[in-house]
Amino acid sequence: MNKSLLALPALLAMAISAHLHAQTFTQIGADIDGEAAYDGSGGIVSYSADGMRLAIGAGSNSGNGIAAGHVRVYEDIGGIWTQVGADIDGEAAGDAAGIASLSADGTRVAIGAPRNNNANGTDAGHVRVFDEIGGVWTQVGADIDGEGTTDWCGQGTSLSADGMRVALGAQLNDGSGSQAGHVRVFTDSAGVWVQVGADIKGGAPNATMGRKVVLSADGQRVATDVSGGVRVFGEVGGIWSQIGSDLQPEGIYDDFGFAISPFSERHAYGHRRIFQ
């Protein structure tokens, strides 16, 4: 193998390190630690638009059964991260309810539980949406369940800025081939979650579309990973159409994916420290 290729990861790490050292980051408040050993807290982190609220997923938390998962929301009050309301626990043991997405104002959170068992099958997965009113998190509408057994619906979960649309990824859905995956988008119609358009399908076996999902602020575009790349769709009149070609990684060592945030001055990392 070409030795210069083997050196690429090290060179990339050095370049990233040099870039970060050229900037000054200041931690905001103390570390936000997980509740217990093996919780996996911080695997998913989602901000409000102003960066003052933060949702942290802990998919392996066992507060409501082994690996039921939970999400906690915190608010920056004078530099102290203060929990907003109680833990939002997974529905049952094994749910892995730790995929969180906050609305822009931080008062609505969507939570994916990809290993949830429900009427549609074992590990069908589901997404639940909650509103915060006076420090109490209350579910909005019914659970949005995966289509079938082992879909892992909710592995990708994303809210629009106003929280009125939610995109759900089900990476192992078999609708267009074994583990082709799909994405569905729903809108809140007076507290009832109604699907917008048809399923957005992976289109080929093992495409695993939906592992990561990001909605635009207005909820009319959705980006999702598929077959090692990223695919973007736009909705016009209830019809989802692909925009442009798939975005593909540049090199053989790339682990291509994405993370998109509506703000730029605060950065949250998986080890649950906040910097600006």
Low-confidence winner among 26-30, 79-83, 194-198, 256-260 (lowest mean pLDDT): 256-260
HSE on the CB side for 143, CA within 13 Å?
A: 19
pLDDT tens-digit readout, 30-52: 999 999 999 999 999 999 999 99
Alpha-carbon distances of 144 from 56, 57, 107, 125, 181, rounded to whole Å: 21, 19, 19, 9, 16
CATH superfamily of 96-275: Integrin alpha, N-terminal (2.130.10.130)
Residue 28: predicted pLDDT:
94
Judged against a pLDDT cut of 70, whether residue 208 lies above it is answered with yes
Mean pLDDT of 132-154: 98
Task: Please give the Cα distance from 264 to 254 (Å, whole number).
Answer: 24
Judged on CB neighbours under 10 Å (0-12, 13-18, 19+), 181 is: buried
Please tell me what DSSP assigns to residue 164.
S
Alpha-carbon distances of 221 from 110, 167, 210, rounded to whole Å: 18, 10, 14
Task: Please give the Cα distance from 111 to 41 (Å, whole number).
Answer: 14
Residue extents of the structural domains in the chain: 96-275
pLDDT tens-digit readout, 176-203: 999 999 999 999 999 999 999 999 999 9
